[in-house]
């Protein structure tokens, strides 16, 4: 997808490939510093409860809220434990430290059936090898209505939860949730979680959530959720739908001011 820089030169969004293993990186993250990633999902396809138009991994071919048929494609808890221990042992042996150990990967990580088990393993190995690192997750928030998921998430140091739209209409146009997921249920679940950060991506084009009306509705929901803070950003990688594009830095800064003023919540622009 070609965009234009301020100087008029073509600017290409970066392509992004699926992760090929359980542990990857460390990678430099705009929001998490030097981050070691943990992928709990298949390596040959994206497994997700959303089909977001902006997804860096492309369209969702395996959409689900309950990955029963896909269980054979998921790594075992034993394999996850071995991969995390090996990676952290190697980093520490080389005298390297990371800022974050982040559960994310090829889709929605909270779909993993034993999320609590993974988090407990990650905490144990983090405390052993990299005690300074925060244990984090990047989630699309689709499962926060489940109290079992919320209990697992509350074990983490940093919960970065997706929230892009303030109306059911924009939510469905932008995120294409797997039924039966409703924005109102996500808002209710997020209100039940403690100490969360919201991550909100803004785009324009065939679908936009950056116009004044959409932003106003979204800000009202942010005020209702009352997160610790909000991270607003736009496309950095090639999206699934080529008909959407980045919004300007000025637009992101305006959105941030709306949140600070109307919701009283701290905001970072990325």
Distance, CA of 120 to CA of 28 (rounded, Å)? 25
Residue 77 and residue 11 in contact, taking contact as beta carbons nearer than 8 Å: no
Distance, CA of 102 to CA of 90 (rounded, Å)? 17
pLDDT band at 259 (very low <50, low <70, confident <90, very high): very high
Judge whether residue 37 has pLDDT over 50.
Answer: yes
pLDDT band at 258 (very low <50, low <70, confident <90, very high): very high
Instruction: Give the per-residue pLDDT at 8.
Output: 36
Residue 98 and residue 61 in contact, taking contact as beta carbons nearer than 8 Å: no
**Which domains, and CATH codes, for the chain?**
2-269 (3.20.20.70)
Q: How far is CA 123 from CA 13, 23, 84, 212, in A?
A: 35, 15, 10, 42
Taking only the tens place, the pLDDT of each residue in 175-184 is: 999 888 999 9
Judge whether residue 53 has pLDDT over 80.
Answer: yes
Q: How far is CA 61 from CA 20, 25, 45, 48, 112, in A?
A: 17, 25, 8, 9, 17
- 115 token code pair: 């999320």
Instruction: Give the per-residue pLDDT at 9.
Output: 34
207 exposure class (CB count in 10 Å sphere: 0-12, 13-18, 19+): buried
pTM of the model: 0.92
Instruction: Give the per-residue pLDDT at 25.
Output: 93
Question: What is the average pLDDT value for the chain, to the nearest integer?
Answer: 93
Nearest to 83 by CA among 56, 68, 106, 103: 103
């Amino acid at each position: 997808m070609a965009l234009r820089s301020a100087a008029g030169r073509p600017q290409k969004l970066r392509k992004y490939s699926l992760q090929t293993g359980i542990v990857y990186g460390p990678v430099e993250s705009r929001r998490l510093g030097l981050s070691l990633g943990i992928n709990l999902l298949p390596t040959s396809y994206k497994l997700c409860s959303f089909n977001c138009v902006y997804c860096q991994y492309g369209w969702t071919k395996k959409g689900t809220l309950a990955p029963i048929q896909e269980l054979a494609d998921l790594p075992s808890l034993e394999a996850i434990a071995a991969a995390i221990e090996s990676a952290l042992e190697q980093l520490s042996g080389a005298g390297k430290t990371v800022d974050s150990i982040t559960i994310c990967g090829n889709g929605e990580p909270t779909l993993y059936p034993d999320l609590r088990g993974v988090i407990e393993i990650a905490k144990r190995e983090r405390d052993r090898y990299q005690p300074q690192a925060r244990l984090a997750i990047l989630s699309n928030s689709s499962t926060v209505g489940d109290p079992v998921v919320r209990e697992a998430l509350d074990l983490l140091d940093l919960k970065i939860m997706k929230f892009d739209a303030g109306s059911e209409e924009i939510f469905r146009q932008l995120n294409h949730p797997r039924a039966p997921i409703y924005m109102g249920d996500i808002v209710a679940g997020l209100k039940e979680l403690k100490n969360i950060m919201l991550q909100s991506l803004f785009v324009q084009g065939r679908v936009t959530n950056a116009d004044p009306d959409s932003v106003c509705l979204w800000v009202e929901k942010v005020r209702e959720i009352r997160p610790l803070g909000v991270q607003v950003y736009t496309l950095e990688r090639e999206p699934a739908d080529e008909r959407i594009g980045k919004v300007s830095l000025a637009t992101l800064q305006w959105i941030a001011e709306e949140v600070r003023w109307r919701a009283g919540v701290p905001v970072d622009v990325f």
